[in-house]
Structure 1
Amino acid sequence: MATAEDTLVRFVVGFDASQIPADVRAVAREACLDCLGVMLAGSRQAPAVKVHEQLRRHGSGHAASVVGTALRASPMDAALANGTAAHALDYDDMGAFGHPSAVLLPAVLAVGESLDASGEQLLAAYAVGFEVGAALNKGLGISRGESGLHTTGMIGVFAATAAVSRLLGLTEEQVKHAMGVAASTPAGLVQNFGTHTKSLHAGMAARNAVMAATLAADGFTSNPAFLEGAGAMLAVYGKADTARLRANLEGLGTVWQMSVALTLKRFPCCGSTHAAINAVRAMFEAAPVPLDDIEQIEVGELPPASHVLLYPDPATGLQGKFSIEFATARALCDHGDITVESFADDAVSEPAYRDLLSKVRVAVGSKWNHGTEATFEDTTVTLRLKDGSVLSESVNRYAMPGTRKAPLDTAAIREKFEANCRRAGLESDALYERWSDIGAIGSVRDALAATAPVAV
C-alpha cells in the first residue's frame, strides 16, 4: 500500500497540468492577480520595508525581483521579502490553509524568474501546491490552528515546497527529500498576530520552501517519512489519524479544493472580522444608521477561528486588524466602507470610534475561550438604540462577498488591484493587462520587470 508520502510526491511530479479543471484555473488566475496587487501595496508597509533594509545590508544575489522595488536578491531572499509584503496588510486571500497565495506566489515567482519560466508553468505549480496544502491541512487535522500554530506558516511551507519542486522538475525521490527538509521548518505562532511577525510567517514559509526544494535539487537529504514517521508531522502536529491523512492525499488530482475554499478578501483585516463588517455594511445599505443614537452594540456567533482576535482595545491600527471590537466600531464609523486607510494608527484614538468601541459587547465567545464545539456559520451584529428600537443583521461567513459562493466579480477584483497599485506608486493599467491572465505570460522575468518603480 502506498504511503502518504508516496501519494503526495507522485501527484507533484506526475500530474498532467492539462487536466487542471477550468474553474480551478480561473480561481488561480484571480488569486495570483489579487496577491500581486496586495504584495505591491504591502511592499510599502513597515514589515516589508524592514526586510528590504536587511537585504540591502546582507543581500545575496540578483536572480530575483523584490516586487515593488528596484531591489534584486537571491530567490530565497526574494521569496522572504515578497511573502512578507504579500501578508503585511492582511489583505491577501484566505482559505484551505490560512493564507495560501502569500506563501505560494512569492515562492514560485522567485524561482520562476530565475528559470525564466512561463506563466503557464507558474499557474500549474501554484495549483499543484495549493491542492497539496489543502489536502495536508485536512489530513493532518490542524486547520483551526487551535494549538496556537498559524497554518499559513505550518502548512504553507509544504504547499510552496511542492510548487517549487514542480517548477524545478524534481524527481519523486528529490521531492521527498525537499518535503523532509520543509518538515523541519514549519513555524508561526498565533500570539504574534497584530505584529510585524505575522507577515513574516508567510515570508519565512516561502523562503524555506525555496531553500528546501533547491537543496534537494543539489542532492541534500532528509528522512523521506516526513508525514507518517514516528516523529513526523502527523505524530507531532496532527491528529495521528493515518487513514484520514491518506484519504485526503488520495484525492489529489480528482478532488479540487481551490474552487470551493479560496476567498479573495474584501477588507484588509483578519477574515474572522469580515462577517461582522459585512453585517454593518448591509445595515447602511438598507438605511442610514444613527450613530449618536446607539446605546449598545452586540456581536454574536463568532466563527470558530476567532481566537486569533487578540485585541479588545487595540493600541495600533495593526492590532486593530485582529480585533472584532475595532472592526465593528470602525465599520460603523466608516459606514461599512473599510479600507487600508481605516487601519491607520490614529484611527484607534479617534473620538467617534472610541465612543462606539465602549459600547461593543461580544455576546457569544469562541471555541478557543469557552471550550465548546462552536460551529457558527453566521455572525450577527445587533444595534440597540436609545429609543428602544433594535437593528440586526446576520452574515454567513461561508457565503459572504469574496467566498466562492459569492465571488468578487471582475470589476471588483480589478478595482482592488488598481487601488493597491496606486498605494505602491505604480500605474495599474499595463500591470493589469499583463497579469490578469498569468497563464498567458510568456516570460515571468519580463512580466516581473514591470513591477519595479520607474526611475526618474
Structure 2
Amino acid sequence: MATKTLAQWATNLSPSSLPASVRQAAVKSLYNYIGCAIGGSNHPAVTKAYDALSPFFGPATSSLYGSKGAVKTDAQHAALLNGIASHVHDYDDTHLATIIHPTGPVASAVLAYAEYKGSITGPEVLCALTAGIEASCKIGLAVWPEHYDIGWHITSSTGSVGAAVGVGKLMKLSEEQMAHAIGLAAVQVVGLREMFGSDTKSFHPGRAAQSGLLAALLAEKGYTSSPQALEAKRGWANVVAGGGTPKLEHYLSELGQKWEIEANAFKPFPCGIVCHPAIDGCIQLHQELQSKGLKPALIQKIEARVHPLVIELTSKRTPKDGLESKFSVFHGAAVGLLYGKAGPAQYADEVVRDQTVIDIRDKIDATADESLAADETYLTLYFADGSKLEKHTKHAVGSLEVPMSEEQLTEKFVDQAALVLSEGARQASDAAWKISEATDVAEVLRML
C-alpha cells in the first residue's frame, strides 16, 4: 500500500492545503536552492559536465542558472546541470533527521519542467516542491540509518522519487500515473558514499533530478511499473534497506500531518553539516582571540570533542583540494580560527594548500564523544604559557534550535551569487524571494 498511499496523497495535495508554516519553509528552501545553484554554476564539476554533454542538448527551453548569456538547454539536461551546481559546494539544505539534501533533486527537476511548460504559477511550484521533498524525506526515514550506513548517498537514492513526485504534480498526473512515476523513479537508484570528495558526489543529485523528470514524463504517456514499487519484497525499500526493517507504512501514514520540510535546515558553511558545530565554535574562538590580542599562531594544541559522525564523515586530515576539504573537520575548524569565517572562499583550492592553514590544521585533535548531540561540540585551545580557552557550542548556527534568519539567508545568497553574477547578485536574490508569488515562474527563472 505504500506506493499507493504516496501517490494518492501527492495527487490530492493542493497549494491551498499547505499550512502557512509549510509554505514559508518551502519558500526558504527554494530560495536557498537557487542561491546554491547560481553559486556552483561555474565550478569545474559543472563546466566539465556541460562540455561533455552540450553536443547532445535538445531544444533550449530551460535555463542554466548563473550562466553567462542566459544559456538554456533542454529540460532533462537543465535538471542534471542545475542539480550538480546546487550541490557542488555542499552548501545546500539538510533534513537533519536523515541528512538528506532534499531540495536539489526536486527543485532542479520541477523548475526545469516549469520553464519548459510555461504558465505555471509560484504557488503551483511550491506545492510540487513540497510534495517532492515530503516524498524524499518520508521514504528516507523509512530506511534510515541502515540505508546510509551500508553506503548509499541518501540524497540521491531518495531524490529521484521526490523529483518524480514533484514533476508529476505539475503534470497533474492521475493517481495511477503517479504510482507508475514513483516506480520508474525507484528503479533509477543513484549515489554511493564512496564518491564523496569527488565530482561524482554532486553528479548524484543532478542525476536524481534528471531521473525523476524522466520517470514522470514516461508515466504521463502510459509507461507502467509495479504498483508496489516501494514496498514489495523485491521493491525499493527492502532492496536498499541495508539489512534493516523498512518502516514505510509508519512514515507515509504521517503525510500531511507531520511535515518534513519544516525540519529542513540551511547551511551557514559550505561543507559537511556534521562539522558545523566545530566551525561555529572556532569562529567564536576567533573573536575571543581578537578581543584578547592573541594570534592563532600562538596556539600549541587544539582539542575537539565531537559527535561520532564527524569522525566517520569528515576526518580527512590532509585534503588535497576544495572538494576534499568539505569532508575535513580539521580544515573547517582551522579556517574558522584563522579567518573568523568559513564561506566558499575559505574552501578554495589555494586556501586548502596554504601553509598557514595547514599549520593550524595539524594542531587539531578531534575525538568522538557519543554523549554529544549532532549539533554540539567542545573545543579547547592550549597555549605555550599553560593558559587555555574553552568553548562549548550546544547548538550550532543553522540547526533547528538556532536557524538562519532571512537576513542571514540573503547574505549567504548574495555572497555566493556575487562570485558568479557580480553586481547582478542582489537582483537575483530579490527575484528568487518573489518566485513563490509569480504568475508564470518561467519569467522569473529567465532572470537567473
Structure-2-length-normalised TM-score: 0.93
For residue 185 of structure 1, the aligned residue among 183, 188, 193 is 188
Q: Unaligned stretches of 5+ in structure 2?
A: none
Question: Which residue number corresponds to residue 125 of structure 2?
Answer: 122
The 1:269/1:132 distance shift into structure 2, 3 A limit, reads same
Q: Unaligned stretches of 5+ in structure 1?
A: 366-371, 452-456
Question: Which residue number corresponds to residue 48 of structure 1?
Answer: 46
Deviation readout 1:304-331 (Å, 9 max, x if unpaired): 3652225221111211111111111222
Query: In 1, Cα distance between the equivalents of 2:219 and 2:385?
Result: 68
**Kept in 2: contact 1:317–1:344 (CA 8 A):** yes
| Residues 1:93 and 2:115 are matched in the alignment | no
For residue 299 of structure 1, the aligned residue among 300, 304, 311 is 304
Query: Which has the larger displacement, 59-68 or 430-439?
Result: 430-439
Q: 3-state SS of the aligned residue for 1:380?
A: strand
| Residues 1:362 and 2:360 are matched in the alignment | no
Structure-1-length-normalised TM-score: 0.91
Question: Which residue number corresponds to residue 63 of structure 1?
Answer: 61
* Amino acid aligned to 1:385: F
Query: In 1, Cα distance between the equivalents of 2:306 and 2:418?
Result: 36
| Residues 1:273 and 2:275 are matched in the alignment | yes
Q: 3-state SS of the aligned residue for 1:123?
A: helix
Query: In 1, Cα distance between the equivalents of 2:315 and 2:105?
Result: 23
Q: CA deviation at 1:248?
A: 0.8
Q: 3-state SS of the aligned residue for 2:47?
A: helix
**Kept in 1: contact 2:267–2:398 (CA 8 A):** yes
The 1:377/1:86 distance shift into structure 2, 3 A limit, reads closer
Question: Which residue number corresponds to residue 440 of structure 1?
Answer: 437
The 1:16/1:100 distance shift into structure 2, 3 A limit, reads same
Deviation readout 1:333-377 (Å, 9 max, x if unpaired): 21x311111112122222211211221112227xxxxxx898655
Question: Which residue number corresponds to residue 105 of structure 1?
Answer: 107
Q: CA deviation at 1:382?
A: 1.8
Query: Which has the larger displacement, 272-281 or 410-419?
Result: 410-419
Q: CA deviation at 1:197?
A: 0.7
**Kept in 2: contact 1:330–1:342 (CA 8 A):** yes
Question: Which residue number corresponds to residue 255 of structure 1?
Answer: 258
For residue 404 of structure 2, the aligned residue among 403, 408, 418 is 408
RMSD over aligned Cα atoms: 1.9
Deviation readout 1:196-234 (Å, 9 max, x if unpaired): 111101100000000011011111111121111111122
Query: In 1, Cα distance between the equivalents of 2:132 and 2:21?
Result: 16
* Amino acid aligned to 2:429: Y
Question: Which residue number corresponds to residue 352 of structure 2?
Answer: 348
Query: In 2, Cα distance between the equivalents of 1:28 and 1:343?
Result: 28
Q: CA deviation at 1:77?
A: 0.9
Query: In 1, Cα distance between the equivalents of 2:94 and 2:29?
Result: 10
Query: In 1, Cα distance between the equivalents of 2:163 and 2:175?
Result: 16
The 1:278/1:359 distance shift into structure 2, 3 A limit, reads same
The 1:278/1:373 distance shift into structure 2, 3 A limit, reads closer
Q: 3-state SS of the aligned residue for 2:265?
A: coil
Query: In 2, Cα distance between the equivalents of 1:53 and 1:414?
Result: 31
Q: CA deviation at 1:56?
A: 2.0
Q: 3-state SS of the aligned residue for 1:155?
A: helix
